[in-house]
Amino acid sequence: MSQSATFTEPTALGHPDPSRISGGLSGRISGGTSGHRSGAGPGAEINLSMRAAVVGTGAISVEHLTFLSGRSRFVELPDRRVKPVAVCDLSPISARYAAETFDVDAHYTDLEQLLEFERPDVVHILTPPSTHVPLASLCLEAGAHVICEKPVAANIDELHALLDVAERCGRKITESHNYCFNPAIAELTQMLTDGTLGSLREVEIRIALPVTDPDGRFGDANLPHPIHSMPAGVIHDFTTHFASLLLHFTGNIRFPRVTAAWSNHSADPLFRYDNLDALMIGNGADGPVHGRFRFEAGAGPDTFTVRVYGSRGWAETDLFQPNTRVVMPRVGGSQLSPIANHVANGAGLIRNGMANLGRKVMQRTPYEGLHLFLDDTYRALATGDELPVTADDMRAVCSLIDQLLEEKTRL
Ligand SMILES: NC(=O)c1ccc[n+]([C@@H]2O[C@H](COP(=O)([O-])OP(=O)(O)OC[C@H]3O[C@@H](n4cnc5c(N)ncnc54)[C@H](O)[C@@H]3O)[C@@H](O)[C@H]2O)c1
């Protein structure tokens, strides 16, 4: 480990969502371990100074580097807490551009050199999925903790091998389950934990994105995107989001009954699949829980909806345009509840319409959860507490994705 300094943790870290501070995002609904806040309370002496490096300076690096350079709108990083010391990309122009944009002193095209010369405490791996395991192993062997973008591994065997490397090296590795940390998900979580919706019965997650668009980043036939080599093709880029969100609500339960229809409705040979319709039935703490994943490339507009059904009511949000709609028993009993629901949700729609206009003007992305996940991860690394996304969480997510891809579950 490289140099470090100790200072007193400030009492306010500027989290925008009060529910996080009171634990609203924390933990899964049943039996999970993730999402907890660090045990070191305000004022505790903890070592928060770490040297961070980034490998892969493409699209998602903007969010990671914004966080690392202390420019996040979502969290405040006290001085000296974490310093981005170097970036690396196979493309020298891209590495240099990222270093200049975010005031990072050093840029490399070779990760081994970066590790040797910079000795980072933490490396963010933001390269295409097929490179994650070899690059993460290099970093762990060099003594760095790893924060890896999803999917960390292509299957559970690869993941087990990587976790063994981390264990042997005495370093930690975590995977970005960022949407579980979005405030809108915290809101749904809260309504399940405080009983507003009753006990969980079903989670339905739907992503609609025009990934087959020939002008889009996945549709270029001349320079195919690396994601096409993954077992679920382009949909593999989204499977971690589906699985981590479902398990966030259900806890890491098993789903003995799974069926998945993987289709290529566009018939474009570049794509293995462009459509997923999956149904999972598991045994939750309070009875059976259904999970439903839909990925659609051919239906607009861009959508990322999460809907949770409980024994009393249901709630949904769209992570791209946050607006939580809640349908539940209200004052006035069964006769007036439907109308009260319309009125309450109508008022919320107007309020959130204005808020989303503000988000658009401020160019806010749906990546606030990523910043909050990184913030929690650095706190846990600093205090030695359990990471917000644990090895068990990563195993559960990866196993569910494997299960969805098994031949015997295909519809
Ligand atoms: N968590 C999220 O919500 C989210 C969102 C977008 C992307 N991602 C994930 O982030 C990862 C990167 O995605 P992206 O959209 O930024 O991809 P990108 O193609 O924009 O960038 C990847 C970069 O990695 C570089 N690279 C490739 N191999 C390398 C190597 N061996 N050494 C150094 N650099 C190398 C490439 O030159 C490129 O600049 C993927 O795993 C993706 O699934 C996550």
| Structure confidence by residue, pLDDT tens digits, 99-145 | 999 999 999 999 999 999 999 999 999 999 999 999 999 999 999 99
Average pLDDT of the chain is 87
Is the distance from the beta carbon of residue 55 to the nearest atom of ligand 1 less than 6 Å? yes
Q: Locate tokens 């990523």: which residue? A: 370
Q: What is the model's pLDDT at position 328?
A: 87
Who's near 69: CB < 8 A, 6+ residues apart? Answer: 84, 102, 103, 104
Measure Cα distances from 262 to 126, 153, 231, 320, 354 in Å: 27, 20, 11, 24, 38
- Could you tell me the distance, in angstroms and rounded to a whole number, from the CA of residue 142 to the centre of ligand 1? 21
- Nearest atom within ligand 1 for CA of residue 226: 19
Pinpoint the residues of the chain covered by CATH 3.40.50.720.
7-176
* Alpha carbon distance 111, 87 (integer Å): 9
Can you list the positions of beta strands (E) in 33-108?
45-46, 50-55, 82-88, 106-108
**Which structure tokens are listed for 24?**
């609203």
pLDDT tens digits, residue range 47-87? 568 999 999 999 999 999 999 999 998 887 665 578 999 99
Nearest CA to ligand 1 atom 19: 58
Q: What is the model's pLDDT at position 229?
A: 93
Task: Describe the chain by its helix, strand, coil percentages, rounded to 5.
Answer: 40, 20, 40
Pinpoint the residues of the chain covered by CATH 3.30.360.10.
180-368+400-409
* pTM exceeds 0.75, yes or no: yes
Q: What is the model's pLDDT at position 9?
A: 27
- Could you tell me the distance, in angstroms and rounded to a whole number, from the CA of residue 72 to the centre of ligand 1? 20
Spans of the chain, pLDDT less than 50: 1-45
The CATH code for residues 7-176 is 3.40.50.720
What is the best residue among 88, 127, 131, 147 to mutate for testing ligand 1's pocket, by most ligand atoms within 8 Å of CB?
127
* CATH top class, domain 180-368+400-409: alpha beta
What is the best residue among 62, 89, 137, 389 to mutate for testing ligand 1's pocket, by most ligand atoms within 8 Å of CB?
89
C-alpha triplet 161, 151, 154: angle, nearest 5°: 50
